[in-house]
Amino acid sequence: MTQERLIKVEALTRVEGEGGLFVRLVGDRIEDVQLTIFEPPRLFEALLRGRKLEEVPDITARICGICPVAYQMSSVHALEAALGIEITEDIRRLRRLLYCGEWIESHALHVHLLHAPDFLGYDSGIDMAKDFPNEVNRGLRLKKHGNQLLEVLGGRAIHPINVAVGGFYRAPRRDELTPLIPDFEWGLQAAVETTRWLATLNFPDFTRAYDMVSLVHPDEYPMNEGRVTSTTGAAWDVRDYEREFHEEHVAHSTALQSSRGERQACYHVGPLARVNLNRERLSPTARRIADEIGFETPCQNPFRAIVARGMEIIHAYEEALDILRTYRPPTIARIKYEHRAGEGCAATEAPRGLIYHRYEVDAAGLVTFAKIVPPTSQNQRQIEDDLRDYLPRILTDDDVATTRKCEQLVRCYDPCISCSTHFLKLTVQRDG
């Protein structure tokens, strides 16, 4: 007799935004896996139309309180492409510095408060702190450094106010930035300790033949620019992104789902994709620690993304230190420009992975069209695909354990459902 079993997570916890998970099994056969996203739509692409293009980095920041800089960076680069603005090397470095702050803050939050509790069996980072006070306190300090950098350079940590089309409203003075250096020197060593600790966690034995996608830049670890590149070897100019990558609207999600190519295959974006495609461009300390802990690339175990995040925290500290130590305020903080009708797109690397923006603007400087593809919509189909593969290995567990393991896998992607639109609920249905 065939038994039906449903596994449900009504509300996924320790992810940003609201969603759930629904799995339906008949006997051992998986009939359906849905990452349900019920975050209420806020319709940003519609409400941006008619707004001044100068407001776009402020408005798109509000898509996500955890990674506002990713939205600001992607939107200013896309608008600068539309207006034909070339930014200076000084502005470019300051933008990388800002992104370093966001990577540190976002990764430190995810690693310590959201994901490590899964590996060590706690409900939250706050509970975990009772037994791992050093690790959690160190993590909170790292997160604070990221926020401090965002505060000095961006004006505040959540929804920074200093990012402008063409550069910054005001470049920080040297005496505003240099006081951060001692903390960042400590933080670099602390990030090394964190990554060594993360490498000792127990990782489920689960690997997949992923198609991973990230930006690749010849000279640097990717943040603000590069070619969109797949681990299959294919690469595209950002302007061809929409020809290769497609969005689809499915009934169980208020986030659009992305897929790649004619086969509409799923793909994986995020820290693991970046490390796999750019290992040799990690900072020297990050590379040394990758060797020391024996992090083999390409790494196809999604659970090890937490270690990739650790290595990216090291990288962000080391690159930030380099910029902070050599900083001289640029003579021009913001490039002047004239309004003109045009279209421009850009892709950058948010903490959670590749993010793509495209805008059309008119001669009066108003937005007439906006398209935004956040990392989590790109990972959504991949997450469902992973679960389909992972579930048969854990179905002998009871529902509570199965559910926990599913959630742990979902959290490997650090899903940001506010970005893609709400939170994860796992619903495992086992009828019989």
Partner 1 sequence: MSAEPKPKIGVFKFASCDGCQLSLLAAEDELLTVAGKIDIAYFLEATSHIDAGPYDIALVEGSITTPSDALRIRDIRQRSKYLITIGACATAGGIQALRNWADHDEFVRAVYARPEYIETLATSTPIAEHVPVDFELRGCPINRHQLVEVIVSLVAGRRPKTPSHSVCLDCKRRGTVCITVAQGVPCLGPVTQSGCGAICPAYDRGCYGCFGPAKQCNTGSLSQQLLADGTPAPELVQLLRNYNGYAPEFRYESERLAGLNSEVIS
Q: Which residue, 199 or 406, has its beta carbon nearer to partner 1?
A: 406
In contact, 35 and 19? CB cutoff 8 Å: yes
Rounded Cα distance, 34 and 286, in Å: 36
Q: How far is the CB of 108 from partner 1 (least distance, A)?
A: 9
Distances in whole angstroms, Cα of residue 170 to Cα of each of 178, 182, 359: 17, 24, 25
Q: How far is the CB of 267 from partner 1 (least distance, A)?
A: 20
Q: How far is the CB of 388 from partner 1 (least distance, A)?
A: 22
Q: How far is the CB of 116 from partner 1 (least distance, A)?
A: 13
Reported as half-sphere exposure (CB side, CA atoms, 13 A), residue 6 has a value of 10
Q: Which residue, 51 or 217, has its beta carbon nearer to partner 1?
A: 51
The residue to which tokens 């996608």 are assigned: 213
Taking alpha carbons only, the member of 125, 364, 237, 275 closest to residue 229 is 237
Name residues whose C-beta falls within 8 Å of residue 239's C-beta, 6 or more positions apart in sequence. Answer: 345
Binding site for partner 1 (CB under 8 A): 11-18, 39-47, 49, 51-52, 55, 58-59, 62-66, 68, 109, 113-114, 117, 123-127, 129, 136-137, 140-141, 143-144, 147, 155-159, 161-162, 164, 169-170, 248-251, 254, 256, 407, 416, 418, 423
Cα angle 340, 341, 343 (rounded to 5 degrees) comes to: 120
Tokens for 200, please give them: 């000792």
Q: Which residue, 56 or 100, has its beta carbon nearer to partner 1?
A: 56
Rounded Cα distance, 403 and 391, in Å: 10
Q: Which residue, 7 or 286, has its beta carbon nearer to partner 1?
A: 7
Q: Which residue, 57 or 302, has its beta carbon nearer to partner 1?
A: 57
Taking alpha carbons only, the member of 377, 365, 116 closest to residue 269 is 377
Distances in whole angstroms, Cα of residue 272 to Cα of each of 8, 213, 326, 345, 419: 28, 9, 30, 24, 20
Q: How far is the CB of 86 from partner 1 (least distance, A)?
A: 22
Q: Which residue, 14 or 274, has its beta carbon nearer to partner 1?
A: 14
Q: Which residue, 172 or 344, has its beta carbon nearer to partner 1?
A: 172
Taking alpha carbons only, the member of 178, 149, 183 closest to residue 69 is 149
Tokens for 202, please give them: 């127990």
Tokens for 15, please give them: 């992810």
Tokens for 263, please give them: 């086969």
Q: How far is the CB of 404 from partner 1 (least distance, A)?
A: 8
Q: How far is the CB of 281 from partner 1 (least distance, A)?
A: 30
Task: Kindly tell me the burial class for residue 227, based on how many C-beta atoms sit within 10 Å of its own C-beta (0-12, 13-18, 19 or more).
Answer: middle
Rounded Cα distance, 246 and 223, in Å: 22
Q: Which residue, 209 or 251, has its beta carbon nearer to partner 1?
A: 251
Q: How far is the CB of 38 from partner 1 (least distance, A)?
A: 8
Q: How far is the CB of 10 from partner 1 (least distance, A)?
A: 9
Q: Which residue, 161 or 234, has its beta carbon nearer to partner 1?
A: 161
